[in-house]
Structure 1
Amino acid sequence: MFHTVLLCLCFWRLDVFGDTVKISVNEGDSVSLNSDLTEMKDDDVIQWRFGNKNTSIAEINKRADRITLYDDVLNGRFRDRLKLDNQTGSLTITNTTTEHAGGYKLQINSEIKRFFLTVNVSVMEGDSVSLKARFTKIKDDYVIQWRFGDEITLIAEINVTADRITVYEDVLDGRFRDRLKLDNQTGSLTITNTTTEHAGVYERQINGVRKRFGLIVFARLPVPVISSNSSHCSSSSSSSSCSLVCSSVVNVSHVTLSWYAGISVLSSISVCDLSISLSLPLEVEYQDKNTYSCVLNNPISNQTTHLDINTLCHTCAVSMIVLISAAAAGFLFIVSAVVGIFCICKKCRQTDQEVETHEEEITYVVPKFYKRNSQKLDNKEEDHVVYAPIVKRK
C-alpha cells in the first residue's frame, strides 16, 4: 500500500503587493495566473499580455466564441506552454523557464490585474549557475544592473555607453568575492562555487525594465541508512516478518525520503524549509524476493541505499537456531575440556600404581660360595664359575 506524508508544500508561492500579485515558481514546474472569475459572462473579452511591451500572448472573446493563443511571439518562448481556461479565463504556463519570468497583465473588458512571476533556478551547493539575460548581443545604450536580496543590493553592472564593467564583490560581507562573472556580450551573470548564502532573489534591470530570478541552493544529500529493529522480530506458523527503518544521517531540507519495491513507491515522507532528521519504517517478509531500496531525493539529485534482507533480517526461528547452536557448541567445548582433564588425571594415577608395582617385584639374589679341593689345582690356578640357589623375596 502506498503511503505519503507531506510536511509542507513547495510548488509555488503567491503574495499580493498593492495591485500586483507576485508569484514564484520552480523552474520546470507549472504555474497558474488566476483571473478570480468563477465563470465568464457572454460578452466578456479577456486578454493576457507579457513584458514591458505588453505583448499579447492569449485571448478569449466570448462574443466571437474564440480562444486564441499567440505562442509564437517573442521568438516562441511560450510555444506549447500556454493553457487557457475557457470557463474562468485563468492562464497556466507549463514547464516554466527563466524566460517566462517577468510581468503579466490581465485585462477583463476594462478592468486590469497585474502579476509578477519569479522563476526559481536550482543548483547543487558547490556548482556554478548562470542567470541569463537572453541577449545575443547587448545594445550600445544599455545599462544592465544585477541586484540581490531584499535590499536590492547592487552586485554587478555593465554600462555600455561608458564602456565599463563593474563587479561589487565586497558588498554583503564579501559573500560574492571571487564568485561573480559577467558576460560583456550578453549581460548574463554567473555565480561560481555556490553556497546557501547565495540563495535568494536576483533582479536584473535593463534601462529600468526589471526581471527577477529566484536561486535555490540545495545542500548535497547524504546516503540514507537502513537499519533493523531487532526487537520487533515476529513469527507465525506461516510467515516471519522483519521490521526496518530508513533514515537520513544529517539534517536536510527540501527532500523526500521513500521506500521502493523495484520501481514502485511503497511509502514516502517529505519536508520543506525545515531542518529535521527523517526516518521511514518498513515491514517485510523474511522470504520476500522483491528488491527493496531507500531513496533520499530533492528536485535535482538523489541518493539510494539497497536493502540486503539476508544481512539485516533474521526470523525468530533462525535466531533461535543460532542461539541453540551457539549453546550446544559451548556445551560440547566444556564437556571436552572436562573429559580431557579426567583422562589426564586417570593417566597420572595409573603411572603411580605401575611404579609401586615395579618396586614390589624387585628380586634380590643372595649368593653362596663353595670352594673346591686345592689339591687338584696343580699346574695353574684358574677362575671357576660358582652357582648358587636363588631366593625370591617380596
Structure 2
Amino acid sequence: MIPALVFFYLCFFCLVETDETEVPVMAGDSFTLRIGLTEIQSHDEIEWRFGSSRTLIATIVKGNIKYGVDKRFTESLQIERHTGDLTIANVSDEHNGVYELSINDRFIDKFSVTVYAPLPAPVITKYSPQCSSSSSSVSKSVLLCSVLDVSHVTLSWYKGSSLLSNISVSNFSISISLPLEVEHQDKNTYRCVINNPISNQTKHLDISGLCQTPSDSDHDWTEAVIRLVVAAVVGVAAVAAVVVLVYDIRSRRIELEWKIKFIKQ
C-alpha cells in the first residue's frame, strides 16, 4: 500500500511541479507563450494567469474566448482559439513577470517573462592620459567605458576575442563604468561591449588616437581664442583708462571753479 501511495504522489508532483521557462523579450516587441498542443479539445478549459496575485487574464471554455479586465493587457493580449497559445504585443515593463498556464484546472507550466530596454551604445572616454615624447618611456592611458541608466546588462572589455574584465547589474537602473589601462604602442584590438540575453552594442577602441599632437587646425583655433581674450582684456583696460581720465578732468575743473569763486569773494 505504501509503495502505491509513494508512486501516486511522485506522479502528482511530476504533473504539478515544473520549472519556469525563461522568456526574454525586447521592449516594444511581441512574444508568444506556446502550450505545445496542435489543437485543444472542445471540452478543454484553458486558463492563463499573471503575476504573484495570479490575475486571470484569458480563458477558453468550450471554444469561447474571454479576456480579463486587467488594463495592462486590454489592448495587447490575444489567445489563439485552436491551440490556446498566448500572444502579447507592444511589450513594456508592466508585462514583466510570471505567466501560469492551466488546463482543466490542472497546473501545466510557468513562463517567466523579462522585458529588456534597448541598449545604448557604450562611450569610451580618456580618464588619465600620460603622453610622453620620449621613446624610452612607455605612454599609457586609463580609459573608461561607460553606459547610462541601464539594468539587466553586462559591460565588458575585450582584447581581441579574450575577455579582460566585466561588470554586471540586475534590476536597478544605474550608470556603470569599467576602466582599462592601455599602452599607446599597443597593437592589439580592444572593444567595449554591453549586452543582455537578447542584444548587444559594441564600441571599438582606436589606440592611435589616444595621444596625438595638436593639428594645424587646433593651433589656429587656439590662436584665435587667445587673440579674442587679449582683445577683450585690452578693451577693458581702454575703458578703464577713459573712465580715470574723465574723472581726473572733472576733479580738476571742480577744483578750479572753487578757486575762482574764493578769489571773487
Asked whether the two chains share a fold, i.e. TM above 0.5, the reply is yes
Matched with 1:244 is 143
1:266/1:294 Cα in 2 relative to 1: closer, same or farther (>3 Å)? same
Task: Give the Cα separation in 2 of the matches to 1:53 and 1:242.
Answer: 59
Evaluate the alpha carbon distance shift between residue 208 and residue 51 of structure 1 in structure 2; reply closer, same or farther with a 3 A threshold.
farther
Match of 2:30 in 1: 128
Summarize deviations over 1:175-216 as a string: whole Å, max 9, x none.
Answer: 112211111111010111110100101111111111211111
Distance 1:188 1:326, change over 3 A: closer
Structure 1 residues 216 and 50, CA gap change in structure 2 (3 angstroms):
farther
Would you say 1:200 and 2:108 are equivalent positions?
no
Q: Structure 2: which 5+ residue stretches go unaligned?
A: 1-5, 228-265
Instruction: Pick the aligned partner of 2:196 from 290, 298, 301.
Output: 298
% identity of equivalent residues = 47
Deviations 1:29-80 (A, max 9, x none): xxxxxxxxxxxxxxxxx99x987584xxxxxxxxxxxxxxxxxxxxxxxxxx
Q: Give the 5 Å matches for 1:219-234.
A: 219-229=117-127, 231-234=128-131
8 Å contact from structure 1 (residues 258, 265) kept in 2: yes
Which structure is higher in RCO with an 8 Å CA cutoff and minimum separation 6?
2
Change (3 A) 1:175 1:278: same
Cα distance between partner residues in 2 of 1:195 and 1:118:
20
CA distance in 1, matches of 2:42, 2:11: 21
Counterpart residue number, 2:75: 178
1:141 aligns with 2:34: no
Pick closer, same or farther for the CA change 1:302–1:156 going to 2, 3 Å: same
Deviations 1:59-114 (A, max 9, x none): xxxxxxxxxxxxxxxxxxxxxxxxxxxxxxxxxxxxxxxxxxx644xxxxxxxxxx
Please identify runs of 4+ aligned residues in structure 1 that moved more than 4 A.
49-54
Question: Is the aligned partner of 1:278 residue 2:176?
Answer: yes
How far does residue 291 in structure 1 lie from its aligned partner after superposition? 1.3
Deviation at 1:228, TM superposition (A): 1.0
TM-score in terms of structure 2 length:
0.72
CA shift, 1:232, in A, is 3.4
**Aligned-partner Cα distance in 2 for 1:103–1:326:** 75
2:187 matches 1:289: yes
Deviation of 1:254 (Å): 1.1
The AA in structure 1 aligned to 2:42 is: D
CA distance in 2, matches of 1:214, 1:158: 22
Give the equivalent residue in structure 2 for 1:264.
162
TM-score, length-normalised on structure 1?
0.50
Which residue is 1:337 aligned to?
none
2:244 equivalent in structure 1: none
Which structure has the larger Rg?
1
For 1:181 and 1:225, how far apart are their aligned partners in 2? 40
Distance 1:103 1:118 in 2: 12
How far did residue 144 of structure 1 move? 0.3
Number of corresponding residues? 213
1:3-42 paired onto structure 2 within 5 Å: none
SS at match of 1:310: helix
Task: Report the residue type matching 1:277 in the other structure.
Answer: S
Separation in 2, partners of 1:279, 1:119: 32
2: CA distance between counterparts of 1:213 and 1:203?
7
Equivalent residue, structure 2, for 1:357: none
- Deviation by residue 1:343-384 (Cα, 9 ceiling, x = unmatched): xxxxxxxxxxxxxxxxxxxxxxxxxxxxxxxxxxxxxxxxxx
Q: What amino acid does structure 1 have at the position aligned with 2:129? A: H
How far residue 234 of structure 1 moved from its aligned partner, in angstroms, is 4.8
Q: What does the per-residue CA deviation read over 1:314-371, in whole Å, with 9 as the maximum and x for residues that have no partner?
A: 0xxx55x879x959x97xxx9xxxxxxxxxxxxxxxxxxxxxxxxxxxxxxxxxxxxx
Q: Given residue 200 of structure 2, which amino acid in structure 1 is its aligned partner?
A: N
Tell me, in whole angstroms, the C-alpha distance in 1 between the residues paired with 2:46 and 2:10. Answer: 20
CA–CA distance in 1 between the matches of 2:105 and 2:50? 16
Q: Hey, what does 1:40 align to over in structure 2?
A: none
Distance in 1, matches of 2:126 and 2:191, equals 14
- Write the distance in 1 (CA, Å) between the matches of 2:94 and 2:110: 18
One-letter amino acid of the structure 2 residue matched with residue 164 of structure 1: N
Choose between structure 1 and 2: higher helix proportion: 2
- Residues 211-222 of structure 1: pairs in structure 2 closer than 5 A: 211-222=109-120
CA distance in 2: counterparts of 1:246 and 1:280, whole angstroms: 5
Match of residue 19 from structure 2:
117
For residue 25 of structure 2, give the secondary structure of its aligned residue in structure 1: strand
- Paired AA for residue 176 in structure 1: F
Instruction: Find the aligned partners of 2:21 and 2:10 in 1 and give their Cα distance.
Output: 15
Q: One-letter code of the match for 1:206?
A: I
